[in-house]
Chains A and B, each alone.
Chain A
Amino acid sequence: MRKAVMVIGGGIAGIQASLDLANRGFKVHLVEKDPSIGGRMAQLDKTFPTMDCSICILAPKMIECAHNRNVQLLTYSEVKGVKGSIGNFKVKVLRKPRYVDERKCNGCGICAQNCPSEAPNEFDENLGMRKAIYMPFPQAVPRVMVIDKDNCIECGLCDKVCPADAVDREQQPEEVELDVGAITVATGFDMFDPSVIPQYGYGRLKNVITAMELERILCASGPTGGHLIRPSDGRIPRNIAFIQCIGSRDRREWINHPYCSSICCKYAVKDAVLIKEHEPNTVVAIFYIDLRAFGRGFQEFVNRAKSEFGIRFVRSSPGEISEDPSTSNLVVWFEDPTTRTVHHNSFDLVVLCPALIPRKGVGELAKILGIELDNYGFLKSADSVRKPLDTNVPGIFACGYCLGPKTGDVPDSITQGSGTAGRIAEVLVAREAS
């Protein structure tokens, strides 16, 4: 009987690792703390440089996870304790109550239509609202509603209208203990909160947003239905600035993210092109320190962005953003690198590209698993050159951005997911043989 394995984190890296292992005959427990798998990739509009619709290429893999007999999805669940060692880990997983019976709910959504209580939609980066009983996003897997008890007013309407009688307000958290031979961690990244640097105005100036918020705005299933409009007045922005390296490459002690986050230059160019495709008359400028467009297809993509789409690339890092209170337009002062003089331009919308940091909660998870972290809170590889996917604990591996700024794009996360699947299979099969 082949030993089961665990994957912690249901983003693209975790999903790929799960599928690879499942298809090799391992039983996989895929633990995800959000109510649905999908991770960051589900939030994106399009991926670079191919400009594929992100959820369109992710969803088939998500569905395969749901249907594959060897994959058990433990969504809305968290790892709370681990004992044992390679070959014999005993993992305690806490399953948080959805207050909806997973076996009965078919995701029809009638409950949400009737729910009177609203809360900010986390999947949409709090740009729009969702109901207290909600489907995390339209393509969620599992396709089950979840009740946010903090915002639920206990009116019982959802229960009354549910045709499948799936609402279970008495549901309790459930702790399960799972016996697994190996674990891989794939918890991904969060975005650094730019309000830590007050000069950029995030949180204070309405039309300063992060790149992830822009993705949700551009996405057809997002809070604006895919219409490119700006937060303060819903107008279509006629000129947009991207500002790179907000917190990345920053050695100041109180910020302390001296690394380059790898993917921001790429996604900024992608987003700029997307914007031009939506609104060809909108002017887009990207303010950068260095433009990091490495790898296959990216430099070509940048060249197209310049020549075909007329996107402005300005090699100057602005220090601050101010606002014209009458229009909510933003003023960006920068040094024009060609004339060496200081200018200011007005923009309708400013998009900040923040540093990418470890997911919240990873510190506690690492403690539970006994894994070492690096200076920035990312998981540390056992040997960053020769064993990049191993951690210091034999039998526990890691893949994707939780290991830190790698190339970081989707193919890279998939590669690493498959890599850990290979490592797990290798070590467990070797143990079986001995």
Chain B
Amino acid sequence: MHEVANTPRGRGVLTCIQCGRCTSSCPVARVVEEHNPRKLMEMIILGSRSDVLLGQLPWHCLSCFTCLDRCPQGGDVGETMFAIRNLAVREGNIPRGTLVQTQSLFDTGRVVTPSRMALINRQRYGLGKEPAVDVKDVQKILRKTCFSKLTSRGS
């Protein structure tokens, strides 16, 4: 629990009173039985580290912030999800789709890039050139924050 509390955006776990309002409001909890934000907080408080960090639950979260807005303790379930995901990534638990986006971000400075066809169409539709990204600067930043290490790209 303290590990999460000391991770950025993870302080919310210290104030959770297990009221269940987050789960009652969560759009994913209504369609996926295993997805239960309150239960996740419970697991953190009880110290089930591997279940939390190696499981899929945090990756089903939409980051829609409905839980955050309704939490009577001022809201940090939604924020805590980010802290958990940050920790999970460091354990090697990262969905393939997210990994693809991170790789694209490092290579191009964008999480998703226009296809060749899309670029040609831009000219046809009169939208001008694709806005250019300063990729070198992005890479410098991502190397400095060890992002690249986390996602096994770059030096």
Contacts and interface: CB of A to CB of B under 8 A. Distances in A.
Interface of A: 199, 245, 249-253, 289-290, 315-320, 333-335, 337, 340-342
12 contacts: A249-B72, A251-B73, A290-B17, A317-B19, A317-B21, A317-B24, A320-B24, A334-B20, A335-B23, A335-B29, A341-B36, A342-B33
Query: In terms of DSSP, what is the predominant structure of the interface of chain B?
Result: loop
B17 A333 contact: no
B74 A319 contact: no
A34 B75 CA distance: 40
B72 A319 contact: no
Nearest to B67: A319
A117 to B, nearest CB: 43
Interface residues of B, number: 22
Given A335-B38, A341-B33, A252 B74 contact: yes
Contact of B36 (A252, A253, A317, A340): A340
Query: In terms of DSSP, what is the predominant structure of the interface of chain A?
Result: loop
B20 A316 contact: yes
A151 to B, nearest CB: 39
Give 6 nearest A-B pairs by CB, closest first: A319-B25, A316-B20, A251-B74, A317-B21, A289-B19, A335-B23
B25 A245 contact: no
A392 B25 CA distance: 44
Contacts of B72: 245, 249-252, 289, 317
Contacts of B149: none
Contact of A342 (B19, B30, B73): B30
B73 A316 contact: no
A342 B74 contact: no
A252 to B, nearest CB: 6
A333 B30 contact: yes
Nearest to B38: A335
A316 B19 contact: yes
Contacts of B33: 341-342
A335 B24 contact: yes
Given A316-B23, A334-B20, A335-B20, 14 more contacts: A199-B25, A251-B72, A252-B71, A253-B74, A317-B20, A318-B24, A319-B24, A319-B25, A333-B24, A335-B24, A335-B36, A337-B20, A342-B30, A342-B33
Contacts of B30: 333, 342
B39 interface: yes
B8 to A, nearest CB: 21
A334 B39 contact: no
A318 B21 contact: yes
B9 interface: no
B93 interface: no
B124 to A, nearest CB: 46
A316 B39 CA distance: 12
Contacts of B22: 319
Contacts of A319: 21-22, 24-25, 66, 70
Contacts of B36: 335, 340-342
Nearest to A246: B72
B70 A199 contact: yes
Given A318-B24, A319-B24, A335-B24, A342 B29 contact: yes
B76 to A, nearest CB: 10
B46 to A, nearest CB: 14
Contacts of A316: 19-21, 23-24
A340 B20 CA distance: 10
Contacts of B17: 249, 289-290
Interface in B53-102: 66, 70-75
Contacts of A315: 20
Contacts of B19: 245, 289, 316-317
A320 B74 contact: no
Contact of B39 (A289, A317, A340): A340
A335 B66 CA distance: 15
